[in-house]
Chains A and B, each alone.
Chain A
Amino acid sequence: MVAIIDYDTGNLRSVINAFNRLGAEIIVTADHQQILQATHVVLPGVGEASSAMEKLRTRGLDTLIPTLTQPTLGICIGLQLMCKSSAEGDAKCMGIFPTEVRFMSPAAEVGLKIPHVGWDNVNWTLPEPPIAKDIPEGAHFYYVHSYAAALCPDTIATTDYGAPFSAALQHRNFIGVQFHPEKSGPIGEQLLRNFLTLKP
């Protein structure tokens, strides 16, 4: 059972649809017991970091999530909330990944458009992390964001947009992806399939 955490940050539909397409059994919930019992946990999220963090806090999820031991995937804002802090709304986040989320000013400085919207190359570190199994080096994933996590020892993939940022991070059972695998065609589906094969 995959628990998709519902903390009222808007549209979970595309993440739900993506796991349904893979035939996964899912539950959309903010209930602590249901999350603890799930084999896999997904923290999606769209919107603004500080208000999303506040929504996690009011549900006690900010203290629950870092204690999880099953494979846990943060997508986009979900990844950002797993970092130490975010410059978006000056938010203190969960601190699972030892890095901070910053506005993508290096991109703006070289005249690139922000938000970073569209398909961009993702370069995985070697040896290939299990989440990237059967995904070609440099394969494109779909992005929509204006803030990004700085590189850190937990960075397992990078994308370069003005400057390299953490496209994906992993710390123990926690994986974060800045791109949207649920919208990245067959490559994205492969990544989600890889996630489902990870064992606690």
Chain B
Amino acid sequence: MNNIPILHFSFFISPFSLFFNFHFPFFISHSHYFSFFIFNLIVLAKRIIPCLDIREGQTVKGINFLQLKQVGDPVELGAKYAAEGADELVYLDISATLEGRRTFADLVARIAQRINIPFTVGGGISSIDDAARLLDAGADKISINSAAVRDPGLIDQIARKYGRQFVVVAIDAKVIDGQWRVTTHGGHKLSDRELFTWAREACDRGAGEILFTSMDHDGTQNGYPCETYSRLAELPIPIIASGGAGTAQHIADVLTLGRADAALAASIFHYGTLPIPTLKSALRAQGIPVR
């Protein structure tokens, strides 16, 4: 299985390596050889992702996807979060107009110039050309939602052209008669898809990550549905939990009990109820690996 350590061992004892070690000051020391095994215990950091909803170029936050409050300039707010230790940012365009959409593409270019951490953009992407425009503007990943439900082949197309790491499939769902049903158009339309089968299909088609929002929890600040996330975690791609965080414990729960790889939130960051450094120390105190 682990052929890499074996190779490392062989370099360590071969006369060839002595030659290299002699000439190059940056050789791997004996103590470092053993430290590889110590660092085996350390895992990939869990990511904290502030989400900024953008309408007509301004950051807004909805409560249960309906009432909207303005919370600040998207580039400045993103830079502030990056400086505070956000691991990634998500910008979602919820503009209703064509003009608003155009503004968003310009905004993405400005974000890319300023922000030094990865960011995902989404909202209204319905073709490979939309995705290409945003990636060219400097986005690291694109997130597709309603369009993927309508045309699942879009996932395959974007993944094939840009690689699966560029494709985040966002899924909004709510419980109807005991079953998680996928919704589209910001929660306004109920589709005939079921959450787990849709998430599996999205993954098989080439989604690099799944961003799941429970419409029953979003904006409530009552916590995430951890059991549902834990089931999604069976998929071989990262799961981002979104919608419902009110406290650091909610986030700790979804990253442990819910086995999510990342937690996305908006209100708690926008309104300053839970600053990112406070959140990260709380997670660290519980032994959750964070940056």
How many residue pairs bridge A and B at CB < 8 Å? 139
Q: Is A7 an interface residue (CB 8 A)?
A: no
The answer to whether B20 touches A153 (Cβ under 8 A) is yes
For window 106-143 of chain A, which residues contact chain B by CB distance below 8 Å?
A: 106, 109, 112-121, 123, 125-127, 129, 138, 140, 142
The answer to whether A13 touches B5 (Cβ under 8 A) is no
Distance of A112 Cα from B45 Cα, bound (Å): 13
Chain B nearest Cβ from A34, distance in angstroms: 23
Chain B nearest Cβ from A138, distance in angstroms: 8
Q: Is B71 an interface residue (CB 8 A)?
A: no
Q: How large is the interface on B (under 10, 10 to 19, 20 to 34, 35 or more residues)?
A: 35 or more
Chain B nearest Cβ from A38, distance in angstroms: 22
What are the residues of chain B within 8 A of A112 when measuring CB–CB?
44
The answer to whether B39 touches A123 (Cβ under 8 A) is yes
Main secondary structure of the interface of A (DSSP, over half): mixed
Q: Is A91 an interface residue (CB 8 A)?
A: no
A153, closest chain B residue (CB): B20
What are the residues of chain A within 8 A of B21 when measuring CB–CB?
153
Distance of A110 Cα from B21 Cα, bound (Å): 32
A142, closest chain B residue (CB): B118
Task: Choose from A17, A127, A185 the contact partner of B82 (Cβ within 8 Å).
Answer: A185
Q: Say which one of A54-62, A67-75, A79-87, A156-164 lies at the interface with B.
A: A156-164
Q: List 27 A-B contacts (CB under 8 A).
A: A10-B162, A11-B135, A13-B137, A14-B138, A17-B112, A17-B113, A21-B113, A102-B4, A106-B1, A113-B238, A116-B44, A117-B208, A118-B261, A119-B44, A119-B47, A121-B42, A123-B32, A123-B35, A138-B39, A142-B117, A144-B165, A153-B16, A154-B20, A158-B32, A160-B42, A161-B44, A183-B118
Chain B residues in the interface with A (C-beta under 8 A): 1-5, 7-8, 11, 16-17, 20-21, 24-29, 31-32, 35-36, 39-40, 42, 44-45, 47, 82, 87, 112-114, 116-118, 135-138, 140, 162-165, 208-209, 236-238, 261-262, 291
Chain A to chain B: the 8 pairs with minimum beta-carbon distance, closest first: A153-B20, A13-B138, A151-B8, A163-B4, A140-B291, A119-B45, A164-B36, A156-B26
